[in-house]
Structure 1
Amino acid sequence: MGGRRSLATNLSTNDEATPLGLETDRPDDFVTRLQPLCQRAADSLRQLGWRVVFAESCTAGLVSAALGSIPGISEHLCGSAVTYRNQTKQDWLGVSQEPLVNPGPVSQQVVQLMAQGVLNSTAEANVALAVTGHLGPDAPSQLDGLIHLGVAGKDQPADDAASDFTATRLCRLESSQRLLRQQESAHEVLATLIDVMDIFDHWKRIREGELEKSRFSWAHHFLREQPVSQDDATATPEFLFPGSFDPRHEGHLEIAQYVKSTFGADVEYELSLENVDKPALEFSETLDRLFQFLGGNPIWLTQSATFEEKSRLFPEATFVVGADTMVRVADPKYYLDEQSHRQAIATIVAAGCRFLVFGRQLDGDGSTTAGFYQLEDLVLPLELKEICRQVPAAAFRADISSTDLRAKRDEK
């Protein structure tokens, strides 16, 4: 799959100098410039057999106008609800008044309700995208040039691989002129539609065993995704940070920054659909977690639940982990027997993989007592400990609990 074209590059050339009345800024010229992106969206819709509907606020119909320029798109474009005013959002999409007042129309909550509302009212649509934003003038400074995008999807009639799914995105626009911001917002909606379809395609192919791994890489806020086929053994990052990223938090970012400043290498992340301690990820969860990496380092999608499997996919990689992960790698309960335990460690060693181990606060679970643990505090098989390197607490320590963050998130 090819990378998407960045409209912002085209717009920024004359962002401040070009008067709005020039022909280069006419909506029909914008639609022409957007043709390659629209064609890719149309091709993906046909490939998946999906139908899309939009709920547009700040883009005022530009998204559907652009996509509607593709011949034959009527089979896949259901339409668009242009709900510019709050009352129209209530009347057409069923958005209640309360979230429109607080947190307000330009918010994650409202854009998700917009997407769900237009999907619910469009029986033949499989996926809906919504957009709302402050394009100026006279926007509050903290919201000026900010747009929210919402995604909602439902079971596919011809494919039961994905259950209902939702996701949101937040974008800070590059342009400063209102018309250019409107066009950039439309570009982001279409690009997000492509992102959703690309991620679904690769999630499904990995789940079915057709692919072993796919690499998703973001440049600024434009997603550029490159599939990695099963027989491509050359694409291995130097430092790989596996995790569930539920949610991704500041501790993850600080660890990546530490690796960059200490070793001069970028960290790439890995999200596995399978986990030894948790249920397999459905598409909705996968989409939500991958969208957290917009504007960040690349992330790999795999189905490798164990480090034995990861070492086969990423030979020579250094896995960036916490002490809690090393406890699980060494715990016999995750293996069939002692022989399979030794074989797993031997496989990791033979692949040339290593572990960079950060200290973690452990709650205690029978094999350990509660407290802060570093590599030196762990009881590990010698052959495993020999391929580990400790990050001293004096050099780095971040006591952030994903469990606590999830609890706070669920309270909202």
Structure 2
Amino acid sequence: MSVPGASNTVLESVVTYSRMSMIQLLGKVPAQAASSQTAEEMALLAYNRALKLSKPGSPVLGVGFTGALASARPKRGDHRFHLSTRTSNRLWSSTVTLTKGLRTREQEDGVSSQYLIKAIANASKVPGTFVPDLTESEVPDEYERQFDEDEELEQLLTGTICFKMYPFSSDTSDAQRKIILSGSFNPLHDGHIKLLEIATSICGGGYPCFELSAVNADKPPLAISQIKDRVKQFEKVGKTVIVSNQPYFYKKAELFPGSAFVIGADTVARLVHPKYYGDDYGKMLEILLGCKNTGCTFLVGGRNVNGTFKVLEDFDIPAELKDMFVPIPVDKFRVDISSTEIRKSKGLLLHIRHHSLHHIRRHNYRCFDKSSSTDFLSPKMSFSYQVRKGVDGF
């Protein structure tokens, strides 16, 4: 951290030196504090934390380090350290057992720090210019696992990772704030794209991205094949999409702090209605104030609600929350079509085609049919690391 410009790459450092610090970080009492499993768990936590803290689309790295080095009192066990790195598609871990009595504590610190820097460089695909000062007998015990896209999405569905970003956009903006339009996008249509563009202009800039939740509040989670099919829609139009596992906005706010969420009036109708919080107005207020405290705002576009076109002003927003909601003027954006209506129209078209073919076959007509499908859509490496050194087991 003494090197100028470190803030361009280091997102956060957490030193879990006490027992309670480690327990709070992991959310449990570890079976053994100084172990490869603990280092891997720390690296995964650091990776997920880095995803939340980094600029949109930046590659991130999480690092976990724990060990038992020389201390004031002689140790009965080995002097060793465990290190793990985690990126989107790779998990790597290593255990190094040092020769007992060969080095002072300061020297063991130096060797383990060298090895840590070397591991960070390797995970960042930066060629290392030095070799850690290990003896021939101090051979690292290494493990590596690569993940393909399906495995990453499976980890998303199980909650192992918090989200996966597909940065298809050519936008090179350095904006930290995300402008997010969430939805199922089944299918993605021009209205979605236009709405996000208008919302970004109202915000005065930001990083526009779509967010697809693979987990639904009242439906089964999407299959991996479904997720990939929907993601392809965004690749075709060059728009960034984030796949998350959070169906609720208060959880999305925790996942993407400081973001502006673009929603329709139909969503506002549910967000500020106590019915969706067990008819508990106080609970509703507490949850939404929690969203506000993350720095998130909601940009609200007009939408048909039960057959009537509604805008933000049609809803009774609690005074404490009014400044969290920003209207999108109707004269700037209004599209009445929805993905549901598009699916229904496609279903009707399919029914008509099947009926026509049946009629043609029944009357033995000879014809030539040429149909066409409709397209509804006409380095800097960041990392976060956790460190634990010089502590025996608990």
TM bucket normalised to smaller: 0.3 to 0.5
TM-score (norm: length of structure 2): 0.47
Of structures 1 and 2, the one scoring higher in RCO (CA 8 A, sep 6+) is: 2
Look at both structures and tell me which one has the larger radius of gyration over its CA atoms: 2
If the length of structure 1 is used for normalisation, what is the TM-score? 0.45
